[in-house]
Structures are given as structure tokens and as C-alpha cells.
Amino acid sequence: MDATLNREHVGVGLIAPEHLGEVWERVAPWIRQAFDACPRLRPSLAAARSRLRRRRWGLLVGAIGDRLVTAVVLEYVELRGERILAVVAAGGERGETLRYTGPVLWRAIQFIARGLGADSIRVTGRLGWLRWIRGRGKVREVCVDYEVRG
């Protein structure tokens, strides 16, 4: 990754369902890895693609230049009177791409949440995702997987 890269080379955008096929092959492995990293999320890639096509979920992507490097799956839900924009899955290329696209993606997620009138943004996954939030969030839930061997 070019160390001289600056923010004007980073772009983000929501993928319209009719354009999902153009990016799916690139982002599907990242989505699968995100599902694998959070055991509570076990939809198949086919189910995820179906939800994206039906606008039940949204796909936000980050690019450096003309190359897609990160993807975030979003879901807007109303639960017990609270409006939540949930980050269902997030992933991308390994290396420093998140360092460049992460802050821009987080600002886009905040913008989307405000536009939807959400009360909060919920991120489920590894504790490392707290770096995106930059201290403005708080840990409200911890999921522990305890393996029972028979």
C-alpha cells in the first residue's frame, strides 16, 4: 500500500441492488469471513445476497482508487422502540486498507444513521472494531463462545 496515499483517493458508496452482481464476487469472501468471526451470525451467502437484493440489508463499500477494498453490510431495525442501524458484517482486504477506508466508512455509516433517524449504531463483532468508533461508543454486550466437548 502506498504510504503517501491520502483521503482524496478513498471513496465510499452504497451499492444499489441492481448493481450487486458487479461487486458480489469481490465482496462475498469478506462477508463470509465476517460471518465466521461472529458465530451468532450464520446466514448463508445466498441468504445475505437475497437480503441485499430485496433491500432488507444495504451494502456499503470502500475503495482506494478504482479498487474495492472493504465492504460493510448494514441493517436498519426497530427493536423495543429503539431505531438501530446495525453493522451486520464488515471486512475487506488485509493490510492497511482499513486504516485508510475505516474512518471514511465510519463517517458514511454515521451519515446514513442520521438520515434514517436512527437512535444508535450497533456494531457486532470483534473488539478491534472499536477503533472505528474512536472512543464515542461503549461496549454494551459481550458474546462468549464456550466450546463443550462431549
Return the biggest CA–CA distance within the chain.
54
Look at residue 141 and tell me if it is in a domain: no
Amino acid at 55: R
Mean pLDDT, to the nearest integer, of 41-54?
90
Look at residue 35 and tell me if it is in a domain: yes
Mean pLDDT, to the nearest integer, of 67-79?
93
Residue 71 has pLDDT above 60, yes or no: yes
Q: Which structural domain, as residue segments, surrounds residue 40?
A: 8-133
Look at residue 2 and tell me if it is in a domain: no
Share of the chain above pLDDT 90, in %: 43
Higher-confidence residue: 135 or 97? 97
pLDDT value at residue 128:
62
pLDDT value at residue 90:
85
Look at residue 142 and tell me if it is in a domain: no
Look at residue 105 and tell me if it is in a domain: yes
| Cβ neighbours, 10 Å, residue 127 | 8
CATH code for the domain of 125: 3.40.630.30
Amino acid at 87: V
Higher-confidence residue: 149 or 87? 87
Residue 75 has pLDDT above 80, yes or no: yes
Look at residue 78 and tell me if it is in a domain: yes
pTM over 0.95: no
Residue 63 has pLDDT above 80, yes or no: yes
CA distance 29 to 13: 19
Look at residue 38 and tell me if it is in a domain: yes
Higher-confidence residue: 46 or 98? 46
Look at residue 60 and tell me if it is in a domain: yes
Work out how many domains the chain is built from and give that number.
1
